[in-house]
Amino acid sequence: MQFPDSVAHLVQTDFPLASSLWLGIGGPARFFAEPTDQDELVTLVSAAARNGVAVRLLGGGSNVLASESGVDALVISMAAAPLARLAVDDTRLIAGGGTKLSHAVTHAVSAGLGGLEHLLGIPGTVGGALAGNASADGRDIGLVTAEIRVLQPSGSIVTIRGDEAQFSHRRSGLGGSIVLQATFQLDRRDSAALTKRMQKLWIVRGAARPAESSRIAMPFIDPDGATAERLIADIGLAGLREGGVSLGIRHPHFLVAEENATSVDCLRLIDRVREQVLLQTGIDLQTNLQIW
């Protein structure tokens, strides 16, 4: 495949993905690019669409499981600063789709704007959080989303209102589109009080993660009215192992990968957990991981 001259210098072939993913698992991407502005992003996506090449978006890499055989796609990183801008307009926070969610939260808090602080500690980008309607403490990001500008697979750009994004429990109607920018409608609050609350949340949520490994992922979405952690623990699956991966013993909603872990190990473990939870509780756990 030939990319347009304006972006050809950005594209790498057979790019190793493992080091960019939290699980540290995965083979090379057929194509990889990190556009430095919106025009380059649009050109890359349009070129891929014309040539029938799939596009995969890489945010923080916290919920991606890639095959060791490689990913036959154009993997696009949204990490460049122009795609991760943050700005405040009165009580609105405007964030680029590539902005780390944690940065958006802290920027809002420092400006004395409340409504996002409960999402602190959730990994990934603003775009990923919107696509999956990230939620914590019973409140999701969709509740404060006023407007989203998205790049469609065809290369066209459209703006939709938050109430048109079909937000539901850990879901949205944004699948297949790339979030370029989001506008959040927040509330004026005391910045010092928000900061204290944010610090407490950071301590609590940090203690709820496995400390023994940095190669972790949360493979399941909490079902409505329950948590994957509680369901898994109650039926005795904490510590369950498959090859080089296991569930955390103290934090069984985390999947922990060892050096010899493979994507097949991960998928087998996920299938075993889903099967047992369904058999014993009647709840069909949905996966949080993107399988590449």
**Fold observed for domain 5-80:** 3.30.43
pLDDT at res. 197:
86
Extended beta strands in 112-215, E state: 113-114, 135-136, 139-140, 145-151, 157-161, 178-185, 187-188
Helices (H), the chain: 5-8, 38-50, 101-110, 126-131, 191-207, 228-234, 263-281
Report how far residue 277's alpha carbon sits from residue 32's, in angstroms, rounded to the nearest whole number. 37
Environment class of 194 (CB within 10 Å of its CB; exposed 0-12, middle 13-18, buried 19+):
buried
Report how far residue 31's alpha carbon sits from residue 55's, in angstroms, rounded to the nearest whole number. 9
Report how far residue 112's alpha carbon sits from residue 212's, in angstroms, rounded to the nearest whole number. 36
Report how far residue 73's alpha carbon sits from residue 53's, in angstroms, rounded to the nearest whole number. 6
Find out whether 184 and 92 touch, Cβ atoms under 8 Å: yes
Residue range 112-136, pLDDT digits in tens = 999 999 898 888 899 999 999 998 8
Residue 204 has pLDDT above 90, yes or no: no
pLDDT at res. 200:
83
Q: Which two tokens stand for residue 202?
A: 């950071």
Residue 266 has pLDDT above 80, yes or no: yes
**Residue 224 confidence class, pLDDT cut points 50, 70, 90:** confident
Find out whether 188 and 112 touch, Cβ atoms under 8 Å: yes
pLDDT at res. 225:
83
Q: Could you tell me which of 141, 89, 134, 88 has the C-alpha nearest to residue 115?
A: 141
Q: Range(s) for CATH 3.30.43.10 in the chain?
A: 5-80
Q: What is the 3-state secondary structure (H, E, C) of 53-84?
A: CCEEEECCCCCEECCCCCEEEEEEECCCHHHC
- pTM, rounded to two decimals: 0.86
Residue range 35-46, pLDDT digits in tens = 999 999 999 999
Q: What mean pLDDT value characterizes the chain?
A: 92
Q: Range(s) for CATH 3.90.78.10 in the chain?
A: 216-291
Position 264: which residue type?
A: V
Catalytic residue among 30, 92, 170, 171: 170
Q: Could you tell me which of 94, 104, 144, 148 has the C-alpha nearest to residue 124?
A: 104
Write down the CATH number for the domain with range 84-196+199-205.
Answer: 3.30.465.10
Q: Range(s) for CATH 3.30.465.10 in the chain?
A: 84-196+199-205
Q: How open is the CA angle 144-146-148, to the nearest 5 degrees?
A: 115
Residue range 65-115, pLDDT digits in tens = 999 999 999 999 998 988 999 999 999 999 999 999 999 999 999 999 999
Q: Containing H/E element for 255?
A: strand 255-257
Architecture, CATH, for domain 216-291? Alpha-Beta Complex (3.90)
pLDDT at res. 208:
64
Residue 206 has pLDDT above 90, yes or no: no
pLDDT at res. 261:
95
Residue 153 has pLDDT above 90, yes or no: no
149 is catalytic: no
Determine the average pLDDT of the residues in 158-178.
92
